[in-house]
Amino acid sequence: MKAKFSAVCLVFLILGVSALAEGQSVSAVTPEMRSAANRFYQASDWTKAADAYEKIVAIEPKNPNANYRLGLSLLSLNKNAEAQKPLEIAFTNSPNAVFALALARAYARSGNKAKAFETIEKSATVGGIAPETLTAEKDFAAWKDDAAFKELIRKSDLAVNPCKASPEFRQFDFWIGEWDVKNPQGVPSGSSSVQLILGQCIIFENWAGGGGNNGKSFNIYDTSDKKWHQTWVDDKGIFTHYIGGLVDGKMVVVADTIISGKKTLAKMTFSKLPNGDVRQFGENSTDEGKTWVTAFDFIYSRKK
């Protein structure tokens, strides 16, 4: 009798352990589940991907990436209403422009223009959706002439390209252009191509000196210290970092450097002339700015 009792206990113990193990296997997402879901998603097998991600979000309901991929899989299956909930969860738990775009598309496909516009507007607070993405998106094509949609594009553009909206970043725009450079006596000194790049944040100079000295500079307004910075490098191995800002309409930048073994302040002053030319006047000081000696004097004239 005792032996039978022990055997029954053993059976129940084994069943209990098995049930526990089985319960654990469905209470946590396994690496195999994630791998399979990702594989289906990357293969554009949307039916299997949706099924796999549904299983994951059932266990991890707030997982933003799983909800996002579930939502996109459902959108790809044209299950637009079903896609909204996981995409809402994804955007709520991880607000970003990528998730916002997908959610706005789901709303648009379901005919909910108000929620779509609201989502696009919210995206501007988390980096913004690139304006070219909004205008190219087929799900938004019906709104291309809508005034409110155009305003959303404008706001998104400023969010994606914040330098456009900041007047400080535009202070040095007078130097942008294609230039022939001469000294005050009219002798050619070189040429320069000054471009606005990287979302209108950087003024990029390409200098070709008449004497073979070539260089480049990156110029940017730093919002942290409220100053302009120029980083100059050339083909002679020279690196100089200038700091300054707008003074009476002129861009004035100064660098700590070493010239002929002496600690020197190097100053450049950029002035827009009445005829549209730009004067770049360079000065050096070896007495901490008490006195200055002219280093160069260039006149930039626009190429014809």
Q: What share of the chain is helix, strand, coil (3-state, %, to 5)?
A: 45, 30, 25
Length of the chain: 304
Architecture of domain 25-162: Alpha Horseshoe (1.25)
pLDDT in tens, the chain (304 residues): 444 434 433 333 333 333 333 444 458 999 999 999 999 999 999 999 999 999 999 999 999 999 999 999 999 999 999 999 999 999 999 999 999 999 999 999 999 999 999 999 999 999 999 999 999 999 999 999 999 999 999 999 999 998 988 999 999 999 999 999 999 999 999 999 999 999 899 999 999 997 778 999 999 999 999 999 999 999 999 999 999 999 999 999 999 999 888 999 999 999 999 999 999 999 999 999 999 999 999 999 999 8
CATH topology of domain 168-302: Lipocalin (2.40.128)
Handedness of CA 118, 89, 157, 164 (dihedral sign): positive
DSSP 8-state secondary structure symbol assigned to residue 137: -
Q: What is the pLDDT of residue 165?
A: 80
**What is the distance in angstroms between the CA of the first residue and the CA of the last residue of the chain?**
110
Sequence ranges of the domains in the chain: 25-162, 168-302
Cα–Cα distance, 249 to 184 (Å, whole number): 21
> Are 179 and 300 within 8 A, CB to CB?
yes
> Are 202 and 218 within 8 A, CB to CB?
yes
- Tokens for 194, please give them: 């000054």
E strand or H helix at 149, and its extent?
helix 147-160
Q: What is the pLDDT of residue 182?
A: 96
- Tokens for 289, please give them: 């700015």
Q: What is the pLDDT of residue 16?
A: 39
Q: What is the pLDDT of residue 20?
A: 35
Cα–Cα distance, 220 to 217 (Å, whole number): 10
Handedness of CA 104, 108, 109, 111 (dihedral sign): positive
HEC profile of 5-67: HHHHHHHHHHHHHHHHHHHHHHHCCCHHHHHHHHHHHHCCCHHHHHHHHHHHHHHCCCCHHHH
Q: What is the pLDDT of residue 211?
A: 76
pTM of this prediction?
A: 0.69
In 252-265, which positions are buried (b, 16+ CB within 10 angstroms) versus exposed (e)? bbbbebeeeeeebb
